[in-house]
Chains A and B, each alone.
Chain A
Amino acid sequence: MKKTIEGSIAVAEVARDCGPDVVACFPITPSTHIAETLDKMYTNGEIKSYTAVESEFSAISMLVGASAAGARAFTTTDSQGLALMHEVLFAAAGMRLPMVIVNANRSLSAPLSIWNDHQDSVSERDSGWIQLYCKNNQEAVDTVPQAFKISEDTNIPVMVCFDGFYLTHLVEQIDIPEKEVIGKYLPKRKAEYKLDPENPITMGMYALPTHYQGFRIDLHQDVLKAAENVKKEMEAWGDVSGRKYGNGLWEEYHAEDAEYLFIGMGSVMENAELAVEKMRKEGKKVGLVRIRCYRPFPSEVVEAIKGKKGALVFEKAVSMGADAPLYAEISSAMKEKGADVPLSSYVGGLGGKDITVGHIEQMFGEIEGGPVKKVWDGETGAPKIKKSLGAGEENGGA
């Protein structure tokens, strides 16, 4: 059903309709509205359980217990909250416990900032969680049911990432899938193993060097294999909802015949779509590749980059003292697959620094002269254009 609704509330409604048994949250801007909405739903009897815990550490720990007991478990957080969960994120994945976090991407301290970037979730890329990044609120509501399905089919936890403020607090028209549609798509969880006195098992054991590596590499292999589940669920969800986002792993936009590509993740890619539309009208052959599934990392995305005159990776994350993470991974995949395309790296948009359509045009322009590696500082006096997407204000709104 189409509704004009805030992104957070829409996500909460879909999370509710996925029928979670256990929800436990702790408030942190900008994910708080999701938590508050779920709490309200609990007080109205719309979800079975909601616990307002004393920390994100307890929220994720409750999810571990709940999932181990065979329940469907959900939480939302971001930034410091996700960082506080760090230790348990690894344990949850290692224990092969399905669960879903919606992460409302926000920067990390210090300095403190409540605004958007991807440093929080990108820092958890090695935790064993599947990570899906959304470009808009429609995709966020479409991704939550898929996340539960993928997670419960693979016994790997899934993090749905959508940008704090740019999306969480944006009021726009969203087509919210009906509860019946979700119910049909997402059957009740049937746990392969659980804490059950009738059939006692021991979970979370310790392993000596003879076994430890085997467990970790099994998880790694299974996360890689989960790419098939991500693709399959995109198809399946597309069939019931009529909406698809690329092949589930990445989404291309005018990429096929493009000479130059802009590669990135999250809501900035909607602005990038506007930039491409505008530049195409001006006869410039530009296109986009949006990484939707960051873990498992879809290295086959290189096929979409091969043969271009140039490509740039724009990302809202830094690996302190090294190349930017997404750039480094794309560049290594290109090398491995023999794609000899000049690749540029732009880091920007940290702590909510707006990335406008004009900025994206400028970046496209810059890489024509050869590969660039830089921090995009934003305030370039680029022309701002009016567009009718999202908040409808100016180009920063999407």
Chain B
Amino acid sequence: MNILSTDICIIGAGPVGLFAVFEAGLLKMRCHVVDALAQTGGQLSEIYPKKPIYDIPGFPEVLAGDLVKNLEKQIEPFKPTFTLGERVERFTRLDDGSFIVYTVAGTEISCKIIVIAAGLGSFEPRKPAIEHLALYEGKGVNYMILDPEHYRDKRVVIAGGGDSALDWTIFLANVAKEVTLVHRGTTFRGVPESAEKVQHLAEAGKIKLLLKSNVVGVSGEDKLEAVTISFNNEEDVVQETDYFIPLFGLTPKLGPLEDWDLELQDGAIVVNTFDYSTSIEGVYAIGDINTYPGKLKLILCGFHEAALMAQSAYKYLNPDKKFTLKYTTVNGVPTL
């Protein structure tokens, strides 16, 4: 088990969670950031990294991916720490008013303040509607490839038609004993080079490529032993395999947050616009995840919310300290 300690635990490494590190850092509060995704940037990295954004003040045009890179650089002086690839499941409050935040992988973060910057929810894999699929999750059915070595000399069936299905098929062709790619279409519309490579591998007999096909069934005693593949919705074939990896991209799901005893309205956390505090003292919610009269789900608005949250959090942690707002132009960016 991994136990960490910090002033503020930020749930969500989207643009708003990242900028919250900056605003907290200016007030000398340390932050630890947790995200279910393996990378930072939230929607910007996962949905539209190559799209230009036009409404960030001072940037007539900036690519979403570049904005994330800049935010990372901007918060570097404050040495934030990260737990990536782990979803936060719950938190508890201790007698002294501090919190422990628990992730799905057993990491515990001890903190004085929680900032929920969870956007539209935690990014989770899209799952195909196959009967009994859930029974085999972790027992042969995986939705993400964390360690390719895991598949060395094994038989693998991949389903999907996007770039990640193509990329992993190419990669695993040299690792696994047998790779089958199942795709419902007749062509691939992703990166042309990857599509070509997959075709070549299939022609060379290095992989099995099944087009106009769908995986429609899974079976096995205690773990996955075979998948049923329907070809052209006509003929069903059963293929023995060790692993089935459906790769249909990720989509945000509110998930565990719904059970955190926070006041919710239409899937968003109700906050006080004075400081974006929630119904639990010491817990704030900023960015797309919150709601209040007039709320706009914009990056700009999330940045503003982060600034007000940080002032309030500072006062909460230091009730006796006198406080005056300092411009960054006066002393530059302090370090922690």
Does B associate with A?
no
Binding site for B on A (CB under 8 A): none
